Amino acid sequence: MIILWQCPKCKREFSNTNQSHYCGKFDTVDDYIFAQSGDVQAVLRDLRRVIHEAAPLFEKIAWNMPYFYHKENVVGFAAHKRHISLFPGDAAVCEFAERLLGYKFNKGTIQLPLDRPVDFALVGDIVRWAANRAAC
C-alpha cells in the first residue's frame, strides 16, 4: 500500500488523503453501529438482524469492524461514506456473482450502496450459504 496520509490524531496510515475513519477502538458491535451516522445506523441494525436470522452466528469486533462467526469468520461489514462493505469471503462472492450484477464486488467484498435499498434477501442468502460452508 502506498501511504499518502497519516491521521495526526490516531497515527493510522491511509492511501487516501484525509481518509474518513474512526480513531478509536470498538469493543462491541453496538459500539460500532452507534458511532455511525443516524441513517447508516438503521441500515446496519437491519443488516445485523438479517445476518442473525440467516444463521446462528456469534458477534465480535475484528479489524475494528463487526464480524459474525462460527468456528471461523463468516461475514463482516463496514460502513463507508457512500456504501457498506460486506465481507463474506471469496467463495461466496464467486457463488453469487450472477446475483451481484449491478454491485461493485471483488476479492470477497461486496459494496452495498447507501443511495438505494439494501437487498436483504440477497444478504440473507449469502450469509446462509457462507455459514453452511463454515460449519463443515
Residues with Cβ within 8 Å of residue 136, at least 6 apart in sequence: none
pLDDT of residue 4: 80
Domain presence at residue 6: no
Residue 42 to residue 19: CA distance in whole angstroms: 23
Model confidence, pTM: 0.84
Domain ranges, residue 57: 24-135
Q: Are 106 and 124 in contact (CB under 8 A)?
A: no
Domain count along the chain: 1
Q: Where are the beta strands (DSSP E) in 1-136?
A: 5-6, 13-14, 58-62, 65-70, 72-79, 83-87, 104-106, 109-113
Check which CATH number belongs to the domain holding 43 and give it.
3.90.1150.200
Name the stretches of the chain with pLDDT < 70: 1, 21-22, 135-136
For 99-108, write each residue's pLDDT tens digit: 999 999 998 9
Domain presence at residue 89: yes
Total residue length of the chain? 136
For 5-29, write each residue's pLDDT tens digit: 888 877 778 777 777 766 778 999 9
